[in-house]
Amino acid sequence: MDSMNTKTIAAEGLDDYPLMRTYGIPPVQFVRGSGTELFDREGKRYLDFLCGLAVTSLGHSHPAVADAIAEQARTLLHVSNLFETAPGLEVASTINRLQGGRGQVFFCNSGAESIEGAIKLARKNGGDGRHVVVSALKSFHGRTLATLHATGKLEMHGAFQPLPDGFRHVPYNDIEALEGALDSSCAAVLLEVVQGEGGVNVADAEYLAEVRSLCDKHNLLMMIDEVQTGLGRTGKWFGWQHYFDPEGDVRPDVVTMAKALGNGVPIGAIWAKKEVAFEAGEHATTFGGQPLAASAARAVLRTMEAIDAPELAKSAGDELMGKLLTVPHVLDTRGLGLLIAAEIDTAAIGKSAGEVALSCLEAGLVVNGVTPTALRLAPPLNVSPEHIDEAIQILTNVLGGE
Ligand SMILES: *Cc1c(COP(=O)(O)O)cnc(C)c1O
């Protein structure tokens, strides 16, 4: 199959390509999407099993979200955070309820900003000389200077020294290593429940409980980065709820979210227990939670609650994981709900996972190579059984045809 879009984009002159090539040269230009389907500028149809990196969890052009955005655009776009608006208040109270209550929400515009805010909360609550945030190797927390230093993919740090002080990395799922890294300079532990960018690595059941105990013992904030895992993706509203009673007292102190919150409209949020939240003057942003983004998030949360999105993710995830194991050269799967990695026998097929992802794209399926040997799949939470079967067929053709 020819990669026509590569040619059409290339034909326009790569020397004059106006975007910084931070993401490589895109092989396709999408123009339209509907539910699980995407269409490129030549009208070719694709199944989107990546969702813009776990963002469009309700599928593309969801009518409830589209209507909310259109209506809000005609009603009130922005008034600044010196004033409150109804969409933001509803979204904040829904998030707080889904976290088990007794907390407060701060809105921002992206995942990295939510982590920046969490880092500030750690420093504020740590106080005198206690400012170090301990995070995991292979973690991903963002690309701003501080969140890049929190990110445990050390190869990303190289060119950007000096990074802000106050970060330390430990192996994931290793409680002794974490305990060994703690000292009187530490203010918080920051972890993902599933390391999305790190390869879809799931936290062990005992690990997070032990992290909670260590945080209590050393008076540290337990901060969970749910930017990728939050809002139903893992089969619970938030990934931490696989590990702790959602209604109980034992839970994280700070939870960050972003990606799926606006189904494609940029919005992020920090939830924190009331006793550790920001107070007047301590944090601010011009756009965070403004009416347009908040009305999209309100439509997302209302829709997700109406369809019980976490339950859909759980059942579709079980089905997809099971069927992946029937695909030739799939060695293993891991993940939670609809955040899944399929480990490929790349040695046998002589292709990296990235190259397999490109073949899938040409065959009409959007996935990505999350490690050199693993594909990541993150379809919409309301993906249909037919689309799952179609995706499995495409993968079977791509991987079986070697
Ligand atoms: C994507 C991601 C971020 C960064 O979010 P941006 O919106 O790209 O800044 C942070 N943490 C995790 C776990 C992510 O997956």
Tell me the catalytic residues. 140, 225, 259
Look at the block and give the residue holding tokens 């106080």. Answer: 127
pLDDT digits (tens, 9 = 90+) for 286-303: 999 999 999 999 999 999
CA-147 nearest atom, ligand 1: 10
Domain definitions of the chain by residue range: 6-62+309-400, 76-307
CA-195 nearest atom, ligand 1: 13
pLDDT at 9 over 90: no
CA-225 nearest atom, ligand 1: 13
pLDDT digits (tens, 9 = 90+) for 146-192: 999 999 999 999 999 999 999 999 999 999 999 999 999 999 999 99
Look at the block and give the residue holding tokens 């936290």. Answer: 203
Tokens of 98: 């889904």
- Class of the CATH-defined domain 6-62+309-400: alpha beta
CA of 163 to the centre of ligand 1 (A): 18
User: How far, in Å, CA of 211 to CA of 90, rounded?
Assistant: 32
CATH number for the domain formed by residue range(s) 76-307: 3.40.640.10
pLDDT at 126 over 80: yes
Q: Is 262 in the pocket of ligand 1 (CB under 6 A)?
A: no
pLDDT at 265 over 70: yes
User: How far, in Å, CA of 149 to CA of 115, rounded?
Assistant: 11
Ligand 1 pocket mutation pick from 109, 133, 138, 228 by most atoms within 8 angstroms of CB: 228
Q: For ligand 1, atom 10, name the residue with the nearest CA.
A: 141
Q: Is 364 in the pocket of ligand 1 (CB under 6 A)?
A: no
CA of 42 to the centre of ligand 1 (A): 31
Q: Is 111 in the pocket of ligand 1 (CB under 6 A)?
A: yes
- Phi and psi angles of residue 186, each rounded to the nearest 5 degrees, phi first: -85, 140
